[in-house]
């Protein structure tokens, strides 16, 4: 996932799961002394990171008699991880954007296998099984999943009400509405990839799942169906038609030079009517874009991203991972902190106090009290759809790394006319087959 995101609140199936309490072992100083061992934990320089440190790190250090977690803030934390690991350095706890990135580091032997530590600290009982399995590479556990995520269609409620527009449910309705919005001089969608090219994977995630359907995506991820299937090609053709019509920022050229600040400013001000974004955008929605003292005076709401049929569904994913550095001097101490960090107590505090998404752990519903009404509705609909099997697959959680890179890099060639949708999906298929043959695809839970 990309470096600038702040995520919030997708609780998926956990809202109805019962908390499984388990005893947590304690790591002793690993050098035989009475001094506390240190665990290096990198964080970003955001306000959210400050809150995470206060809630998770400070609380751990206050109670641990054997371990001290040192939180080091990095302006470009995720960008700094790759060269640090390659040099045999880096933090004890390695954070990435998602399972696709973990596979890259695990296959390079830069991460510590976690199966023994999982048994020792009871992680199988702590995490929802399907989510923990996403951290396996070639059968070995290398990471713990973090924020549960999905993507939805956020819309400027004020602009919609002023123009008498209704949120769309089907792809046909979305396309017709986009033309209507454009006709009155408003940009249908805000968005851009200027400061994060991997934002482009959002389009593959949403259009392929919502048009070709999750069942076909599942079969392709299992190696049972080619990515050149006509329904996949049709999904990219539809996406390209939206882009060529100028529905994203007015033109493909504008989209490619638009950054986060420009995207959010256009959406909140009403210059653009909609934004296709993830639940991680909630923090920005309520604290930056639509505040009580915003000059524009606009409001927002959300609906599921439209599908071909109009039936609501949500693409599930985890927005980050935590691993242990292969070269960590104190892996057991790092594992003890990770157990604390991912405990129901700390995860519920991160949710309420930091507006930070819960990891896919078993939580009691009472620990999710205080959620803002619009997001509470999202949680409820997300859980219902998922329990009914109406879910798809995010690229950053279920696709292997080389394939995912092709997905978000090569799509821009389609938008500027240098590649056809057929050629694009052939490139995706070639990358996937290479990783499938090498045993580098990710674990896909049964539907």
Contacts of 377 (CB under 8 A, 6+ apart): none
Q: How confident is the model over 173-224, as pLDDT tens digits? A: 999 999 999 999 999 999 999 999 999 999 999 999 999 999 999 999 999 9
Q: Report pLDDT for 358.
A: 81
Whole-number pLDDT of residue 37: 97
**Any idea where the domains of the chain sit in the sequence?**
12-147+319-363, 150-315+393-437
pLDDT digits (tens, 9 = 90+) for 345-394: 998 888 888 878 888 887 766 666 777 788 778 877 876 777 677 889 99
Q: Is the pLDDT of residue 24 over 60?
A: no
Task: Give the span between the Cα atoms of 299 and 306, in whole angstroms.
Answer: 21
Q: What residues are paired with 70 via a beta bridge?
A: 40
Give CA 445 to chain center in angstroms.
17
Looking at domain 150-315+393-437, its CATH class is: alpha beta
Q: Do the Cβ atoms of 150 and 10 come closer than 8 Å?
A: yes
Question: 399-412 pLDDT, tens per residue?
Answer: 998 999 999 999 99
- Are 149 and 10 spatial neighbours (Cβ–Cβ below 8 Å)? yes
- Choices 3.40.190.10, 3.40.50.10540, 2.60.40.1840, 3.40.630.40: CATH for 12-147+319-363: 3.40.190.10
pLDDT tens-place string over residues 249-295: 999 999 999 999 999 999 999 999 999 999 888 878 988 899 888 88
3-state helix/strand/coil string of 261-306: HHHHHHHHHCCEEEEEEEHHHHHHHHHHHCCCCCCCCCCEEEEECC
The structure's pTM equals: 0.76
**Residue 388: what pLDDT?**
75
């Amino acid at each position: 996932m990309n470096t600038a995101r702040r995520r919030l609140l997708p609780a998926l199936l956990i809202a109805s799961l019962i908390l499984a309490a388990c005893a947590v072992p304690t790591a002793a100083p690993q050098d035989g002394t009475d001094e506390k061992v240190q665990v290096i934990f990198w964080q970003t320089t955001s306000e959210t990171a400050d809150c995470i440190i206060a809630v998770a790190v400070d609380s751990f250090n206050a109670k641990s008699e054997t371990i001290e977690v040192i939180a080091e803030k990095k302006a470009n934390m995720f960008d700094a991880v790759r060269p640090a690991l390659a040099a045999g350095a880096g933090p004890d706890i390695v954070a990435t954007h998602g399972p696709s990135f973990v596979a890259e580091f695990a296959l390079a032997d830069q991460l510590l296998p976690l199966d023994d530590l999982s048994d020792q600290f009871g992680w199988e009982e702590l995490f929802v099984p399907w989510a923990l399995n996403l951290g396996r590479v070639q059968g070995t556990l290398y990471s713990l999943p973090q924020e549960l995520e999905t993507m939805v269609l956020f819309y400027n409620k004020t602009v919609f009400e002023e123009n008498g527009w209704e949120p769309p449910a089907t792809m046909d309705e979305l396309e017709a509405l986009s033309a209507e919005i454009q006709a009155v001089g408003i940009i249908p969608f805000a968005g851009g990839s200027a400061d994060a090219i991997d934002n482009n994977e959002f389009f593959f995630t949403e259009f392929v799942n919502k048009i070709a359907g999750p069942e076909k995506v599942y079969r392709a991820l299992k190696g049972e169906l080619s990515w050149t299937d006509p329904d996949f090609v049709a999904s990219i053709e539809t996406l390209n038609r939206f882009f060529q019509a100028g529905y994203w920022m007015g033109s493909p050229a504008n989209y490619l030079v638009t950054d986060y600040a420009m995207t959010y400013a256009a959406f909140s001000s009403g210059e653009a009517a909609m934004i296709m974004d993830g639940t991680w955008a909630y923090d920005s929605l309520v604290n930056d874009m639509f505040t009580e003292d915003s000059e524009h005076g606009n409001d927002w709401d959300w609906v599921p991203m439209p599908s071909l049929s109009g039936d609501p569904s949500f693409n599930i994913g985890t927005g980050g991972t935590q691993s242990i550095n292969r070269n960590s001097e104190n892996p057991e101490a790092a594992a003890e902190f990770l157990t604390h960090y991912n405990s129901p107590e700390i995860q519920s505090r991160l949710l309420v106090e930091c507006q930070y998404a819960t990891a896919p752990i078993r939580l009691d519903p009472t620990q999710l009290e205080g959620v803002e009404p619009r997001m509470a509705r999202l949680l409820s609909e997300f859980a219902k759809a998922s329990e009914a099997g109406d879910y798809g697959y995010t690229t950053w959680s279920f696709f292997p790394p080389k394939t995912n890179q092709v997905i978000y890099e090569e799509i821009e060639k389609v938008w500027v006319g240098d590649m056809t949708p057929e050629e694009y999906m052939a490139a995706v298929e070639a990358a996937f087959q290479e990783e499938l043959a090498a045993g580098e695809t990710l674990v896909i839970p049964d539907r």
